[in-house]
Amino acid sequence: MVDIKGYNFREIVIRDSYNRRALQFKNQIITYLRKFGLTEDDVEIPLEGITIRKAQASASWYMWEEHLFFSYNRSTKFVENLAMVAQVIKHFLNLLDKEEITQEEFLKLFAEDKDVVKQRKEARETLGVEEDSTDFETIHQNYKKLSKELHPDMPNGNTERFKRINTAHKILKKELS
């Protein structure tokens, strides 16, 4: 089980038909969003050419004049990451449909800047972790080390770099919590 946005989800393991299944998960996400009046043109779900390799899966869409985004990168295969994206989006859309969460709560869970993928990559670089790192404990340890070193009150302090480190930590905390 994996905790995503305060809910537990079963990790999905895919053992065959990777490319076909990735396309099925993409189509499922689009179908879920259609129930809320979105069209395929409102949704962007990039597919990897080789869906068995490790790569981040993401979906972005426009709803209620907001850019919404969700990505997942903790599984060992792109297709499994995309399956998790589909599962999470379906779950929260069902909660929204049953009025168990409000539109505002839904927006808070998924609202992101349009360039969130780039921001996350830069945040990982700033904190000195691997580009595809999803281990928040390691990210947090690097953050603590750098923030102590660069704090404005320290001899080698640097206010601008300290601010960038704090921003990077917030971006990754939101992604991985």
Q: What does pLDDT average to over the chain? A: 90
Range(s) within the chain of domains with CATH label 1.10.287.110 = 116-176
Write out pLDDT tens, residues 54-65.
988 999 999 988
Tell which phi-psi region holds residue 58, choosing left (phi > 0), alpha (psi between -120 and 50) or beta: beta
Fold of 2-110: Double Stranded RNA Binding Domain (3.30.160)
From 1.10.287.110, 3.30.830.10, 3.30.1280.10, 3.40.50.150, which CATH number describes the 116-176 domain?
A: 1.10.287.110
Write out pLDDT tens, residues 104-140.
999 999 987 667 778 888 989 999 998 878 778 888 8
For 92, what's the count of Cα atoms within 13 Å in the CB-facing half-sphere? 24
Angstrom distances, CA of residue 82 to CA of 46, 55, 85, 127, 141: 10, 9, 5, 26, 28
CA 34/CA 155 separation, integer angstroms: 56
Those residues of the chain that have pLDDT short of 70 are 113-114, 177
Range(s) within the chain of domains with CATH label 3.30.160 = 2-110
Angstrom distances, CA of residue 152 to CA of 149, 155, 158: 9, 8, 5
